[in-house]
Amino acid sequence: MNIIKTAALLAFMTALFMGLGLMIGGQTGMMIALVIAIGMNFFSYWNSHKMVLRMHNAVQVDEKTAPEFYELNRRLAEAANLPMPDVYIIESPQPNAFATGRNPENAAVAASTGLLNTLTMEEIAAVMAHELAHIQNRDTLIMTITATFAGAISMIANFAMFFGGGRDRGGIGIIGTLVAMIVAPFAAGLVQMAISRTREYAADKRGAEICGNPMWLASALEKIANGAARIPNDVAERNPSTAHMFIINPLGKYKRDNLFSTHPDTQNRIDALSALAREWSVEDNSIQDDTPQPWGR
């Protein structure tokens, strides 16, 4: 099913890319966009996860450079019956995390120093379990490819005026170019929202199963949401096309970023986890130690 979804996503993004090329440069622009899209499809499948990690200046760690955090992910991957992912740390005061990779055998998880230094061990385990759930559900390929295409579409739209867009080239003129500059990124954003929102609840539930306690994740989501609202993530602001990959929207500091959020409402996610905890007869006070873990690099 996820293979079909990925193929459908690639087809839609390719069509959107071609439509943008048609609006800007007519049939010639459409053909150029098609060639670029084919190249991007191939490149994104093999390299998009590396690009996302590089965008956020993620640094890979191991059992020597971050022993506690690495061991935690190893135990969680074992509990989820997954291959051990590559583990990364992002130097950022905003608490957040994401997963990426084309399949479970080629996956990576990343957490910010802000998350590692402000959450408890149980909360960190729940967050990383959530990210492993995305890997297990094979969401990461779709989310990463979407980020790559959305970024490319926004970039081309921003430079649309430099491509001409004149009727003499078969395009639709300056008005059409302006419309393309607005509509294409908006459409790409809608795809990002649809992808992320439909997957977060499933990853929350599976993450709770992996770590064993829904309330650990509920507590973590509340802290991360509060942190994201107060602490800016400058790298994410420069690369908004990757926002849907994070466990909580990293662009939450500014109201304009919440107009079309890529994530479900945090309180709704917490309520769903609380209901799951009641179903499992898990106590809300299950987090015994509220001391943050000093796990930054």
pLDDT at 83: 97
pLDDT at 238: 87
Which tokens is 123 given?
């909360």
Question: What is the rounded distance in angstroms from the CA atom of residue 293 to the CA atom of residue 122?
Answer: 10
Catalytic residue among 131, 222, 279, 283: 131
For the chain, the structural domain boundaries read 2-280
pLDDT range class, residue 296, cuts 50, 70, 90: very low
Q: Is 131 a catalytic residue?
A: yes
Q: What is the pLDDT of residues 194-235, one digit of tens each?
A: 555 668 999 999 999 999 999 999 999 999 999 999 999 999
The count of other CB atoms within 10 Å of the CB of residue 173 is: 15
Q: What is the pLDDT of residues 26-71, one digit of tens each?
A: 677 667 666 766 666 666 656 667 888 999 999 999 999 999 999 9
Q: Which H helix or E strand runs over 50?
A: helix 2-55
Q: What is the pLDDT of residues 118-139, one digit of tens each?
A: 999 999 999 999 999 999 998 8
Query: Taking a C-beta distance cutoff of 8 angstroms, is the pair 111, 126 a contact?
Result: no
Q: How far is CA 208 from CA 58, 66, 109, 129, 196, in A?
A: 25, 24, 17, 7, 18
Considering the entire predicted model, what is its pTM?
0.76
Question: What is the rounded distance in angstroms from the CA atom of residue 53 to the CA atom of residue 108?
Answer: 9
The residues near 189 (Cβ < 8 Å, ≥ 6 apart) are: 150, 260, 262
Which tokens is 186 given?
């908006």
Q: Which H helix or E strand runs over 270?
A: helix 266-280
β-strand partners of 60: 88
Average pLDDT over residues 108-125: 97
**Among candidate residues 167, 87, 185, 180, the one with its CA nearest the CA of residue 132:** 87
Q: State the amino acid at position 41 in one-letter form.
A: N
